[in-house]
Amino acid sequence: MMDSAGASSKRSDEKSLESGGHNHKNHFFHLVLRISLLFLAVVPACLVLYHSLNSFQFFPNSLYNPSASSQDSARGIISSLAKDDPALVRVLKEAAMTDKTVIITTLNEAWAAPNSIFELFIRSFGIGNQTQGLLNHLLVVALDQTAYARCLALHKYCYTLNTPDIDFSSEAHFMSTDYLKMMWRRIDFLRSVLDIGYNFIFTDNDIMWLRDPFPRFYPDADFQIACDHFFGDSFDLNNWPNGGFNYVKSSKRTIEFYKFWYDSRDKYPGKHDQDVLNMIKFDPFIREIGLQIRFLDTAYFGGFCEPSKDLNLVCTMHANCCVGLDNKIHDLTILLEDWRKYMSSPTNKSATPESSWSPRRCR
Ligand SMILES: *[C@@H]1O[C@H](CO)[C@@H](O)[C@H](O)[C@H]1NC(C)=O
Ligand SMILES: *[C@@H]1O[C@H](CO)[C@@H](O)[C@H](O)[C@H]1NC(C)=O
């Protein structure tokens, strides 16, 4: 999430497609529905694949495929086109680590502008401890053409996610209709990455990467996620997850889970993915599919909601609990400055309490 959980708005123009719990009747109904939809989806998907393969030849040096958008719009925003997109398959292959893990962030015009969040994000990898090399595995998913161009100027792996009829370029205000669509589009896209067979770390770009996170991940979890508030037990479903940072391994379980998460948006209209995750995390369906969820300690994966207190431990810091682009930029700039001082300081590195993060506007 770009912002803290809690705020939410109801949209009156949407009706819940379901009511009540996720019981077995519902389940069976869903299965039948899903199979029928799958069948319906196969024919157009083949056509689209054929079409995009054709048009792709005209844009050999660019991953941007303008002709895909007209195809997409006929099918609405919620398409599974990305899975069939050869440009996506190619860029995933190029960016992935040897174990098929890729770091993914999404970018829109407002966050991509010069001196905005994206620059700070890229800069953090440069001044983090041994994080520079991770940029070789970062895939930036641009939500509009300006963001795509900006990505190409600063980074090597950029991909445009075509989402016709929606303008994601401006600062989408927290919980606005466009904001919600952007968040849900992201969940659908990440599901397709898992479907293609890649593991990912999803990271918002208002998260500063200060250390390599891999040593802090749980080796056996399917889905591990950072928290706004961490209560001390990584298994405890009562932790407050933050959708802005998670590490997900591609498997049948995680693909099923992402589908379930995405489909649950109809059950909770007007809620963003993080709120819905908080509701579905207790759902028996999660246990049925055997998904192993773990919550990441804010000592390593902190944020303005709950900062990593020890600079010797921190891996990432998120500008969560902070509303407004200017406030985020202001405080993240200070945070990177604090980090730079810490890294270049010849003084005692074990004496770095919370107070070593400077006062900020956020919080
Ligand atoms: C940076 O990483 C190296 C290698 O892991 C480690 O030896 C060093 O202590 C780290 N420095 C800091 C400030 O964490
Ligand atoms: C560094 O700081 C810690 C905690 O304040 C202290 O226990 C330790 O003796 C200090 N080490 C040095 C070399 O000054």
pLDDT band at residue 40 under the 50/70/90 scheme: low
Residue with CA closest to ligand 1 atom 13: 343
DSSP E strand boundaries for 275-324: 293-295, 301-303, 316-318
Q: How does pLDDT run across 328-351, given as a tens digit for each residue?
A: 999 999 999 999 988 887 565 555
Report which ligand 2 atom has the smallest distance to the Cα of 349.
1
Report which listed range, 36-45, 152-161, 172-181, is most confident: 152-161
Q: How far apart are CA 182 and CA 221, in angstroms?
A: 27
For residue 300, CA distances in Å to 103, 185, 316 come to: 18, 28, 7
Mutate to test the pocket of ligand 2, among 347, 349, 350, 355 (most ligand atoms within 8 A of CB): 350
Q: Which residues pair with 224 in a beta bridge?
A: 247, 294
Burial, 272: exposed, middle or buried (Cβ in 10 Å; 0-12, 13-18, 19+)?
A: buried
Residues of the chain above pLDDT 70, percent: 70
The response to whether residue 129 sits with its C-beta less than 6 Å from ligand 1 reads yes
Q: How far apart are CA 84 and CA 97, in angstroms?
A: 21
Report which ligand 1 atom has the smallest distance to the Cα of 343.
13
CATH class of the domain at 66-355: alpha beta
pLDDT band at residue 80 under the 50/70/90 scheme: very low
Angle at 130 between CA 362 and CA 204, to 5 degrees: 40
Specify the amino acid at residue 184. W
pTM listed for this prediction: 0.75
* Mean of pLDDT values over 231-248: 97
Q: How does pLDDT run across 249-298, given as a tens digit for each residue?
A: 999 999 999 999 999 999 998 888 999 999 999 999 999 999 999 999 99
Distance 59 CA to ligand 2 centre (A): 59
Predicted local distance difference test score (pLDDT) of residue 85: 87
Predicted local distance difference test score (pLDDT) of residue 4: 38
Q: How does pLDDT run across 89-136, given as a tens digit for each residue?
A: 999 999 999 999 999 999 999 899 999 999 999 999 999 999 999 999
Mutate to test the pocket of ligand 1, among 125, 129, 316 (most ligand atoms within 8 A of CB): 129
* Mean of pLDDT values over 201-216: 98
Residue with CA closest to ligand 1 atom 7: 129
The response to whether residue 355 sits with its C-beta less than 6 Å from ligand 2 reads no
Whether the pLDDT of residue 39 is over 80: the answer is no
DSSP H or E run through 310: none
* Mean of pLDDT values over 8-20: 31
Whether the pLDDT of residue 203 is over 90: the answer is yes
Angle at 250 between CA 301 and CA 275, to 5 degrees: 50
Residue with CA closest to ligand 2 atom 3: 351
Whether the pLDDT of residue 67 is over 80: the answer is no
